Amino acid sequence: MMNDTDFERVLRESSPQVGTSTNLAPHQDRILREARVRHGRRLRVWAASLGVSALLVGGGSAAMAGAGMETPWGWVADNVFSFSNGADMCFAGMQVHFEGVSADSDIVLDARDFVSSLDLESLDTSLAEAELRDGNGAALDEDGNPSPVTMSEAMIKQQVLSQTVSRMMWEYLEAKGYPTDPSPVSFYTRSAGCNE
C-alpha cells in the first residue's frame, strides 16, 4: 500500500515534462507573413463584405478577428501591426477587453469592429512620435534634475500607435453614445521585438 506522499511523488515523476518555448520567432514570422498578405487583400475583402456586414456583426466578428490575428502569446488580436526594427521586427497585437458585459454585447462588438477595421499603416503618427521624443528628452527625475528617457524608435512608434488607436476607439464609442467613464471595455496592446 502506498501513502499519499509516495503516490504524489510517483505521479509527479511519471508525468510528461512540459517546457515553455522561449523562441517565438518562427511563430511571429508566420503571423507577420500572414498579416502582410492579409493587408493587401484588406480593401478587396472590405468591399466584398460590405453587403453582408449585417450578418457578420452578430457573431461573425469574432470569427473574422481570429483569421490570421493569432499572437505568439496564445490569444487572438483584434488588430496587429509590425514594422522593421533594424535586424528584428517590432510586432504588436491589440485587443479589446471587457468586463461585466458579454462578448456579444453591442459595445464590445462595436469596439472590436472599429479596432479591427483600422488600417494601421495609413495612420500618420509622426507628430505624436516627435512629441514623445521631445518629452523623453526633457524628462526630469523626482528631484527635478534632467533624466532623459531612452526608447528605441520602434518602441516610440509602437507606443504612439497604441495610444492613437486607443484614443480613436474611445472617441468612436463616445460618439455612439456608450458610457466611457466608467466603461465595460478596455484596450490592451502587447508587443515583441520593439525594445531593441
Q: Which of 169, 190, 72 is nearest to 113 (CA)?
A: 169
- pLDDT at site 88: 78
- pLDDT at site 86: 73
- pLDDT at site 39: 44
Strands 185-192 and 88-98: antiparallel
Q: What is the full per-residue pLDDT of the chain (196 aa) written as tens digits?
A: 666 666 666 555 665 554 444 455 555 555 555 555 544 444 333 333 333 332 233 333 333 444 557 888 888 999 998 887 777 788 899 999 999 999 999 999 999 999 999 998 899 999 999 999 998 888 888 888 888 888 888 889 999 999 999 999 999 999 999 988 889 999 999 988 887 6
Cα torsion 58, 189, 25, 20 to 10°: value is -90
CB 107 within 8 Å of CB 178: yes
Q: State pTM to two decimals.
A: 0.62
Angle among Cα 26, 187, 37 to the nearest 5 degrees reads 35
- pLDDT at site 66: 47
